[in-house]
Structure 1
Amino acid sequence: MKVGIIDYGAGNLRSVANAVQSLDIEPSVFSTPDGFDGLTHVILPGVGAFGDSMDELVRRKLDEPIRQWIADDRPFFGICVGYQLLFQSGEESPGVPGLGVFDGTVGRFPEDGRKIPHMGWNAAVACQESDPVWDQLGPSPYFYFVHSYYPEPEDQALIAMHTEYEGVRFASAIRRGNLLATQFHPEKSQKAGLQLIRNFLR
Structure 2
Amino acid sequence: MELIGIIDYQMSNLYSVYKAIEEVNGIPKIISNPKELKTISKVILPGVGSFDSALHSLQNKNFIEPLKTYIKNGMPFLGICLGFQLLMQSSEEGKSEGLGIVRGRVKKFDKELVKNIPHIGWNSIQITNYNSPLWVNFNTSPWFYFIHSYYVYLDNKNIESAFVQYDNLSFTVAMSLDNIMAVQFHPEKSSQSGLMILKNFTKMS
TM over 0.5: yes
Mark the CA change 1:141 to 1:50 in structure 2 (over 3 Å): closer, same or farther: same
1:96 equivalent in structure 2: 96
Q: Is the 8 A contact 1:5 1:43 kept in 2?
A: yes
2:41 equivalent in structure 1: 40
Distance, in Å, in 1 between the alignment partners of 2:138 and 2:192 is 9
Post-superposition Cα deviations, 1:80-103, rounded to whole Å, max 9, x if no partner, equal 00000000111011x211101011
1:191 equivalent in structure 2: 192
**Match status 1:201 vs 2:195:** no
Distance, in Å, in 1 between the alignment partners of 2:129 and 2:87 is 22
Distance, in Å, in 2 between the alignment partners of 1:8 and 1:123 is 30
Mark the CA change 1:131 to 1:90 in structure 2 (over 3 Å): closer, same or farther: closer
Q: Which amino acid aligns with 1:104?
A: G
Q: Taking structure 1 as the reference length, what is the TM-score of the superposition?
A: 0.96
After TM superposition, where is structure 1 displaced by more than 4 Å over at least 4 residues in a row?
Answer: none
Shift in Å, 1:131 = 3.7
Distance, in Å, in 1 between the alignment partners of 2:99 and 2:57 is 12
Mark the CA change 1:171 to 1:2 in structure 2 (over 3 Å): closer, same or farther: same
Distance, in Å, in 1 between the alignment partners of 2:5 and 2:132 is 24
2:68 equivalent in structure 1: 67
Q: Secondary structure at the match of 2:111?
A: coil
Post-superposition Cα deviations, 1:25-77, rounded to whole Å, max 9, x if no partner, equal 23110111111022101000001000000100011000111111111121000
- When structure 1 is superposed on structure 2, of 175-184 and 130-139 the one drifting more is 130-139
- Give the unaligned 5+ runs of structure 1: none
Distance, in Å, in 2 between the alignment partners of 1:131 and 1:99 is 22
Q: Which amino acid aligns with 2:196?
A: Q
Distance, in Å, in 1 between the alignment partners of 2:143 and 2:57 is 31
Q: Secondary structure at the match of 1:52?
A: helix
**Match status 1:9 vs 2:10:** yes
- When structure 1 is superposed on structure 2, of 186-195 and 120-129 the one drifting more is 120-129
Q: Secondary structure at the match of 1:37?
A: helix
1:105 equivalent in structure 2: 105
- Give the unaligned 5+ runs of structure 2: none
Distance, in Å, in 1 between the alignment partners of 2:128 and 2:115 is 26
Q: Which amino acid aligns with 2:101?
A: V
1:172 equivalent in structure 2: 173
1:49 equivalent in structure 2: 50
Shift in Å, 1:159 = 0.7
Shift in Å, 1:130 = 4.5
Q: Secondary structure at the match of 1:124?
A: strand
Q: Is the 8 A contact 1:129 1:139 kept in 2?
A: no
Distance, in Å, in 2 between the alignment partners of 1:145 and 1:133 is 17
Identity score, percent = 38
